[in-house]
């Protein structure tokens, strides 16, 4: 193969890296973006509610004859505390802590909604009771609740409101326990509010479930596409696009190994591409088994592979090259029988641990080393499988 393939690989990686970054947003980044949107809207909604509560107090002061209901007082502190928790949720990176902050915010939102509804006089004479659905709707968005769970959350809030009235804690003396059954006029106002709350809870839960499923499908598709874009479809190892990322994370000493299969073209020409695919898959599997955790095996194209070996010294690299020289010429069982190919291996090792890898230079050095070994064997007219033991029934093609 031509040395130019490595330079082409580097150019392809450099040109595709920004595109890959835009197409495949990191999963953690996507989660942070969704959380940021949720918490920002929560804070804005609470501040808006706090402003409306303050305006209501000022506008209704004459109507209430300066007798401001005590339930309106906690709305401000509850909203402010919830905003602080929302700001903390924006900064946290712990999933468990985020869920705890979410639960605390939901509890505060329920308390603020109850206080807001209780601050409105004359039970059943307006639709203020419909506000009780707001905490359930927001809980659905936060926790991904479905329609049934959202309706249950709304009913729990309504029951809490009814319990407050039954215990005589309503500032407007609307004690359900002593007032008897609601009259028809109250039901005319209360029934639409309840229907509105039920509809809003069910609709929000349904939409949240649909969005959650859609996001899960998108995330699965993103993961599949990202894997396909950074891995070779035939062998399953990393491809040229992933080569740059495998090296960029390493800033200390290490090695790069270039492996070119000898006799592979003869396998393709004699037995067809199907047999060649079996050879490539077997070689990739052997490379993967031979390298250490943290090393990267890359198929850069055709019958050429690259190994990225972070923190590998000269001795470690030489030992690995020797093992691979023997391993790669082991016979491969294909539909055409046992076939074997050889391998020419070139290496480049960094010495100074303080230097950042220059991928172009290391690939060029390893490529030159590999072609030097190939030329030396051709000069001596050595067979491809010199390093391997001959086995009956194994066909070695030069």
CB-based contacts of 343, cutoff 8 Å, min separation 6:
259, 260, 261, 262, 283, 324, 325, 328, 329
Phi-psi region of 173 (alpha: psi -120 to 50; beta: other; left: phi over 0): left
pTM over 0.75: no
What is the rounded distance in angstroms from the CA atom of residue 39 to the CA atom of residue 11?
A: 42
Closest CA to 297 of 319, 279, 281, 318: 281
pLDDT at 281: 92
What is the rounded distance in angstroms from the CA atom of residue 111 to the CA atom of residue 81?
A: 12
pLDDT at 394: 43
Are 286 and 235 in contact by the 8 Å Cβ rule? The answer is no
Per DSSP, the three-state class of 398 is coil
Phi, psi of 124, rounded to the nearest 5 degrees: 85, -5
Are 51 and 249 in contact by the 8 Å Cβ rule? The answer is no
Residue ranges of domains in the chain: 20-228, 240-396
What is the rounded distance in angstroms from the CA atom of residue 253 to the CA atom of residue 243?
A: 17
- pLDDT by residue for the chain (398 residues), tens digit each? 434 344 343 333 333 344 344 444 555 666 677 778 878 888 888 888 778 767 766 766 555 555 666 667 777 788 888 888 888 888 887 878 888 888 888 888 888 887 777 776 544 445 566 778 888 888 888 888 888 988 998 888 888 877 877 776 655 554 444 444 444 455 556 677 778 888 888 888 888 888 888 878 888 888 888 888 888 889 989 988 888 765 555 546 688 999 999 888 888 888 888 889 999 999 999 999 999 988 889 998 889 999 988 888 889 899 999 999 888 888 888 888 888 888 899 998 886 655 566 777 888 888 898 888 888 777 665 554 444 444 444 444 44
CB-based contacts of 71, cutoff 8 Å, min separation 6:
114, 115, 118, 119, 171
Kindly give the pairing relationship between strand 296-301 and strand 395-396: unpaired
pLDDT at 86: 85
pLDDT at 280: 92
Kindly give the pairing relationship between strand 254-262 and strand 304-310: antiparallel
Neighbours of 116 (CB within 10 A): 23
Residues in the chain: 398
Q: Would you state the torsion angle of the CA atoms of residues 262, 265, 268, 270, taken in this order, to the nearest 10 degrees? A: -100
DSSP percent split of the chain into helix, strand, coil, nearest 5: 65, 10, 25
- CATH architecture assigned to 240-396: 2-Layer Sandwich (3.30)
């Amino acid at each position: 193969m031509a040395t130019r393939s490595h330079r082409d690989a580097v150019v392809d990686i450099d040109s595709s890296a920004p595109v890959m970054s835009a197409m495949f947003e990191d999963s953690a980044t996507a989660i942070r973006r969704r959380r940021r949107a949720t918490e920002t809207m929560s804070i804005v909604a609470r501040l808006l509610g706090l402003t409306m509560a303050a305006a209501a107090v000022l506008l209704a002061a004459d109507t209430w004859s300066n007798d401001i209901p005590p339930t309106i007082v906690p709305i401000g502190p509850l909203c402010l505390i919830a905003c602080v928790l929302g700001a903390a949720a924006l900064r946290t990176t712990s999933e468990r802590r985020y869920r705890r902050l979410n639960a605390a915010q939901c509890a505060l939102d329920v308390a603020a909604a109850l206080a807001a509804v209780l601050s409105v006089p004359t039970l059943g004479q307006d639709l203020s009771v419909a506000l009780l659905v707001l905490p359930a709707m927001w809980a659905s968005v936060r926790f991904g609740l479905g329609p049934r769970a959202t309706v249950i959350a709304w009913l729990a809030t309504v029951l809490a409101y009814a319990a407050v009235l039954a215990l005589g804690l309503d500032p407007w003396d609307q004690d359900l326990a002593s007032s008897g059954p609601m009259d028809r006029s109250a039901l005319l106002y209360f029934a639409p509010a309840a229907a509105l709350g039920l509809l809003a809870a069910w609709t929000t839960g349904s939409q949240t479930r649909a969005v959650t499923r859609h996001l899960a499908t998108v995330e699965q598709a993103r993961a599949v596409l990202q894997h396909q874009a950074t891995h070779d479809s035939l062998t399953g190892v990393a491809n040229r696009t992933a080569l740059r990322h495998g090296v960029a994370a390493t800033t200390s000493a290490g090695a790069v190994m270039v492996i070119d299969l000898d006799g592979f073209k003869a396998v393709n020409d004699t037995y067809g591409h199907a047999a060649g695919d079996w050879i490539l898959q077997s070689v990739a599997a052997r490379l993967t088994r031979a390298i250490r955790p943290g090393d990267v095996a890359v198929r850069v194209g055709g019958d050429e592979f690259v190994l990225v070996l972070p923190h590998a010294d000269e001795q470690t690299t030489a030992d690995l090259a020797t093992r691979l020289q023997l391993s790669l010429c082991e016979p491969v069982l294909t539909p055409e029988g046992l076939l074997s190919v050889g391998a020419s291996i070139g290496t480049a090792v960094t010495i100074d641990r303080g230097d950042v890898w220059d991928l172009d230079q290391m690939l060029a050095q390893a490529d030159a080393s590999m072609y030097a070994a190939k030329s030396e064997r051709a000069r001596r007219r050595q067979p491809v499988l010199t390093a391997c033991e001959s086995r009956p029934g194994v066909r070695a093609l030069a």
